[in-house]
Structure 1
Amino acid sequence: MLSRYFFSTILTLAVVGPLNYGNCARILGVFPTPSFSHQVVFRGLTLELNKRGHELVIVTTDPVNDPSLKNYTEIDIGFMYEMHERLGRNMIEYRRSPPSLTQMSTLSSYMNLGTEKILTYPELRRLYERDSDEKFDLVIMEQLFSFALLPLADRFDAPMIGISSLVLSTNTQYGIGNTIIPSHPANWELQENINNPLTFWQRLKNFCKIWSTIYVFRTYFMPGQEEIARKYFGDDIPSLYEIEKNISLIFVNQVGPISYAKPNVPKIIEINGFHISKHKKPLPQDLQNVLDRATQGFVYMSLGTNVKSITLSAETRSEFVAAFSKLPFKVIWKFEDDNFPDKPDNVMILKWAPQQAILAHPNLKVFIYQGGLQSTEEAIEHAVPLVGFPVIGDQDAIVNKMVSLGVARKLEITAVNRDDLEEAILTVALDDQYKKKMLDLRSLLKDKPRDSLENAVWWTEHVIRHRGAPYLQSATADEPWYQRQDMDIVAFLSATSVITFVTILLISYKSLIFTINALTYSPLDKAKRN
């Protein structure tokens, strides 16, 4: 009996084991951006992979710190927040002035310094040093700025998966061979001249801006990151351009109904909603009572985790206060300070707000926000219409998209006017079409063949099983910039056309002069001259 049981167990393992290959991998996750809204997206994937039996080592600025998790080790690099605070104390003021070479140089220096601090962090350095016996089957890394961390995949001889909590920057799209369309509204770096009919001169401006951004990034920023990479990993590593190009695939937090459709290479896999809570968490009892009593409805305002309401100028804050005081609704305002002079009676201040629980409350009429993608996903999940004040990054593109879908109004954070704000809030709150279109949008977003997180897990294990996915790589990534857009052909045809046209003009001119001379020629005139 015992031998029969032993034999059946071995047979089961022999049959099932190969089918489940990839369910016991060791994965390194590296997520260096100090932004909780970014980190919750990555956390959604890593925790799900852990549930499936994988062992994970996570480098993050926001550790879960859950002792109940097994085979889930976190390396806390929360010190990056201090650097982040010093650089962008007031992002609203940064929005007032267009990006300059000085600002780009400052950002580059900041990113280089931050990357070095991460690479010199003792816990991480012990992992990647040459005499380390650490082994990983896969590296998952955020694709934004810290490119000097890319050689971690080479050091562990492991395939790499990229992940982004927002639509990929144009620089990264260029690096993996994705199509560059300068005036496409998905290019969130533009901030202006998007999502509307463009003149020739606007498109020319966009063309110059996008390609100059790519040029500056790859000519000045990437070499600095490469120098850092060789300093810590050695001179024998492949170039960062080569490693970036060969990333197996990239999970990108974008999804058709709420992003701008464009051609993408196969290695871009869409994800969304990783951070959305599947189980509704209760509100604190005092807040629950306030919202329950707001039978006329209430408005919720939050500028997110990176942009803080406390950084609003006194003038801007007074415009918000004046508009809120005239509303027939209660206003819940995430404001990072207890000191708020002249606060209207209908305004309640919260230094920290349980956002998803607030958005789930049935009395909520409008969500005033900064246009963050994660907040947008949460608003759609709970069918809450929006008033957007975009500040940085992809927020303009996101709010523009929400406006085009009929679920939001857009205002400018650097020029807040109390009357415009009051009108926008009342319009969105009282016009049923905004709510109806948001309900339709939520239904559309949920109508898909497969859960986004399950799909991402499948692709992750697919890369582990096959040690990469080179068949997803576009040959475009190997081509120089001018070949990708056939600019050399356009230049050749243009030059040939101009030369041909000028040649025809010269020949025509010479022929015309010869003909005129021939027609006016007279032998008698010649005789008289003689």
Structure 2
Amino acid sequence: MNSRLSLLVTLLLLTSGAQCAKILAVFPMGAPSHYILGSTLLRGLAEKGHDVTMISPFSEKTPPKNGSYRDIVLTGVKEEHEERMKTMNVFDMGEANILLMGPLFFTTMVDLTDRTLGQPEVQKLIHSGEKFDVVIVEQFMNEAHKGFAKHFNAPLIVFSTIGASSWVNPLVGNPTMVSYDPEPLRGFSSKMTLYERYINAFTYSYFQLISHLYAYPQHDKILKKYFPNNMNLVDIMYNTSLVLLNSHPSTNLAVPYVPNMIDIGGFHVKPPQKLPDDLQKFLDNSKEGVIYFSLGSNVKSVFLPEQKREAILNAFSKLKVKVLWKWEEDVLPGQPPNVRLGKWLPQQDILAHPNVKLFITHGGLLSTIETIYHGVPVLAIPIAGDQKLNAERIVNQGFGLKLRFADLTEELLLEMINELLTNPKYATNAKKRSEVFHDRMAKPLDTAVYWVEYVIRHGGAPHLRIAGIDLSWYQYFLVDIILIFSVTSVIVLYISLKLVKRLVSSCCRSKKQKIKTK
């Protein structure tokens, strides 16, 4: 009996070991919101018993109890990001010319990609001889980081923080529909005017040109600089096994997907936790309702221009409802009595409270997802990046309004707040959108873990790869067929015209001969 029990335990241990995979993830961005997504995914995988290694500018303060979680911290990246956010006027970025900002984004990411791979701890990992079963790379103009998958002979999974877009679609041959799918940095709706479709198509073409003529050659050089075996960027990029998308039809535009693109939007949202006692008491006692105001983790409220801050304070002072404001300092000059401050606030748990009637936000994707999860109406004041696009979706889906930061005045802000608080359609639409969000076969984090394990089980899942990804660009877009058709049409037209001309000439000669005989 004891021998049978020992055999059973041994078999269970062997089975468990076989199911444990070694996973490497690369999330190089210095913004906390990017790390939240990466760490949530990696914690979920570790909790399933996997051995995970995370390359990022942050370290995990409370590692998961199951599996194994290892940090390789990129020194200086987070600090540089914080300093850049302090020195640059982020509130003017929303009005900046995208065509001028585009090259800056690309050069910044080329530099970050290079410095990431050059860090001693990363180089130590590259030359360690370790083995990994899969590599997950955040997609953010950091193409050379995909070299980890080739180097460790592991399947490549790409994680897109903003869902499907022209930034990730080419990797797996997914179509980019510029006629109704706005570029990430353009704040257009899906129902674009003729002019907007022109601008959208031009922006798409412009960024594709920068990518192919500048960014990809630079990343190819970085690959050869830091990885052995003389890798080729194109071969690596288009050998993507799976794309995990931080999106869902409840939060993003419905667009076509190829089989190896999977929605997991909202996977970072957790069920409501108990609030701190003082905050719980404040929300419970605010029977007239509460407005929650936060500009996110990157944009600091304390850096608001004085004129805009005064306009916001004056508008808040005229409200009957309470306001909970994420303010990063101890004192807010001119603070009205109905406004409560907090340097850090548990946003997800606050949005879950029934007395929160409105969320005033910068329109970041994580904040947008969280407010949809809890069914709270929104006033979006987009500042930069994809926030304009998110704000436009909020308006289109009917659960909020948007206010251009440049247009923000006391009167307009107060008017929009009162509209959102008094018109029940916004709360109704927010609840409907929340119902769509929650109506899934499985929890999004479980879906993410399943598909990562699926790729591992099936050796990169090549059966999910569409045939179009193996075609050259001229074959994919039927350029050769169009040329053949065009040349053939011209030849047929030429021959037809010649025949008609001969026929007409012959008829004319026949008529002349008949006239002469008469």
- TM-score after normalising by structure 2: 0.89
Q: Summarize the Cα distance change of 1:406–1:314 in structure 2 as closer, same or farther, 3 Å threshold.
A: same
* Mapping 1:162-311, distance limit 5 Å: 162-192=158-188, 194-199=189-194, 201-234=195-228, 236-278=229-271, 280-311=272-303
Q: 1:191 to 1:498 in 2, by over 3 A?
A: farther
Query: CA–CA distance in 2 between the matches of 1:501 and 1:413?
Result: 58
Check the 8 A contact 2:363/2:390 in 1, yes or no.
yes
Question: Which deviations, in whole Å up to 9, do the C-alpha atoms of 1:410-450 show, x marking residues without a partner?
Answer: 11122213222212111111222221222222122211222
Give distance in 2, aligned partners of 1:295 and 1:59.
46
Partner secondary structure for residue 345 of structure 1 = coil
Q: 1:44 to 1:205 in 2, by over 3 A?
A: same
CA distance in 2, matches of 1:45, 1:367: 26
How far apart are residue 57 of structure 1 and its match?
A: 1.2
Q: Secondary structure at the match of 2:19?
A: coil
Deviations 1:180-230 (A, max 9, x none): 2113235323323x322422x442332222122112112101211211121
2:70 partner SS: strand
Structure 1 counterpart of 2:37, which letter? V
Whole-angstrom distance in 2 between the partners of 1:323 and 1:499:
72
What is residue 77 of structure 2 aligned with on the other side?
80
**8 Å CA contact 1:171, 1:214 repeated in 2:** no
8 A Cα contact 1:332 1:348, kept in partner: yes
The alpha-carbon distance between structure 1 residues 427 and 496, as it changes in their structure 2 partners (threshold 3 A), is: farther
Asked if the contact 1:302–1:368 (Cα under 8 Å) also holds between the matched residues in 2, the reply is yes
CA apart distance, 1:134? 1.6
Counterpart of 2:416 in 1: which secondary structure?
Answer: helix
Give yes or no for the alignment of 1:26 onto 2:22: yes
Corresponding residue number in structure 2 for 1:528: none
Residue type at the aligned position of 1:210: Y
CA drift of 1:304 comes to 0.8
Which residue type is aligned with residue 372 of structure 2?
Answer: I
- Structure 1-normalised TM-score? 0.87
Q: Give the direction of change, closer, same or farther, for the CA distance of 1:317–1:513 in structure 2 (3 Å limit).
A: farther
Separation in 2 of the partners of 1:513 and 1:308? 82
CA-to-aligned-CA distance 1:452-509 (integer Å, 9 cap, x gap): 2222212111222222111222222233444434455556666877898899999999
Check whether the contact 1:148–1:229 (CA below 8 A) recurs between aligned residues: yes
Distance 1:509 1:190 in 2: 54
**What are the superposed Cα offsets for residues 378-424 of structure 1, whole Å, 9 maximum, x if unpaired?**
11222211111122332222222222221111111222132222121
Which amino acid counterpart does residue 47 of structure 2 have in structure 1?
K
2:147 maps to amino acid = P
Matches within 5 A, 1:433-512: 433-487=425-479, 489=481
Q: Distance in 2 between matches of 1:68 and 1:490?
A: 56
In structure 2, the CA distance between the partners of 1:501 and 1:419, relative to structure 1 (3 Å rule), is: farther
Deviation at 1:257, TM superposition (A): 2.4
Q: Unmatched 5+ residue regions in structure 2? A: none
Question: C-alpha displacement at 1:5, in angstroms?
Answer: 3.2
In the TM superposition, what are the counterparts of 1:1-20 in structure 2 within 5 Å?
A: 1-9=1-9, 12-13=11-12
- Structure 1 residues 75 and 8: CA distance shift in structure 2, 3 A: closer
Asked whether the equivalents of residues 163 and 251 of structure 1 are also in contact (C-alpha less than 8 Å), the reply is: yes
Matched, 1:65 2:57: no
Q: Which amino acid is the alignment partner of residue 154 of structure 2?
A: A
Whole-angstrom distance in 1 between the partners of 2:482 and 2:89: 44
Q: Name the amino acid aligned to 1:370.
A: H
Taking a change above 3 Å as real, the CA distance of residues 488 and 180 of structure 1, as seen in their structure-2 partners, is farther
Contact 1:56 1:73 in 2 (8 A): yes
User: In the alignment, which residue of structure 2 is the partner of 1:107?
Assistant: 105
Structure 1 runs (4+) deviating above 6 angstroms are: 494-516
| SS at structure 2 position matched to 1:258 | coil
How is 1:326-341 mapped onto 2 (pairs within 5 angstroms)?
Answer: 326-341=318-333
SS, match of residue 250 in structure 2: helix
Is 1:145 the equivalent of 2:141? yes
**Counterparts in 2 of 1:167 and 1:3: CA distance versus 1, 3 Å:** closer
Task: Structure 1: state its 5+ residue gaps.
Answer: 524-530
SS at match of 1:75: strand
Partner of 1:44: 40
The match for 1:125 among 119, 123, 126 is: 123
In structure 1, distance between residues paired with 2:9 and 2:79: 54
Q: What amino acid sits opposite 1:393 in the alignment?
A: G
CA distance 1:396–1:505, change in 2 (3 Å):
farther
Two-structure CA RMSD over aligned residues (Å): 3.1
